[in-house]
Amino acid sequence: MQAQSNQRAAAPLILINGKFATLDREQPQATAVAMQDGRFLAVGNTEHVMRFREAGSQVIDLNGRTVVPGLNDSHLHLIRGGLNYNLELRWEGVPSLADALRMLKDQADLTPHPQWVRVVGGWSEFQFAERRLPTLEEINAAAPDTPVFILHLL
């Protein structure tokens, strides 16, 4: 059974001989797709999808490669984010250094030994009411038994 397709339309782009995970329980895999304006017109096997070919269609043979559709984030730390999401702290938009240090203390209390608390970039001392960076003494007081890494970026 082939996946349902939109009204009979010509596809400017056709990908064949690929591996596509459709996330459809009835048809979990496909080998070809037809696309128009970034949307799928047809999903299925090559015979089904080639019905959407027109004279100007670009047909790309994927030679058995896997296609992973999704959003393109040009700056993604997928592994770091997945492994450390609950260990990272973000200070952007925090109005005062006192608030930031309170957040650091709360995060340090939740962070399992021997993990580090990581304050990641995107903040500046100029956003704080105090208009300064935290001192080493303040950091150590907020997280006396937890190592802390603070990344300072504008």
90-135: pLDDT as tens digits = 999 999 999 999 999 999 999 988 889 999 888 999 999 999 999 9
60 shares its domain with 87: no
- Tell me if 73 is assigned to some domain: no
pLDDT tier at 6, thresholds 50, 70, 90:
very low
The average confidence (pLDDT) of the chain is 87
Per-residue burial over 54-64, b if 16 or more Cβ lie within 10 Å, else e, is: eeebebeebee
83 shares its domain with 122: yes
82 shares its domain with 53: no
Q: How far apart are the C-alpha atoms of 145 and 141, rounded to whole Å? A: 9
CATH of the domain at 32: 2.30.40.10
- Tell me if 15 is assigned to some domain: yes
pTM: 0.50
Please tell me the predicted confidence (pLDDT) of residue 77. Answer: 66
Q: Of all residues in the chain, what percent carry a pLDDT higher than 90?
A: 65
For residue 116, give its domain range.
78-150
140 shares its domain with 91: yes
Q: Of all residues in the chain, what percent carry a pLDDT higher than 70?
A: 82
- Whether 5 has a pLDDT exceeding 50, the answer reads no
Q: Which phi and psi (to 5°) does residue 124 adopt?
A: -145, 150
- Tell me if 111 is assigned to some domain: yes
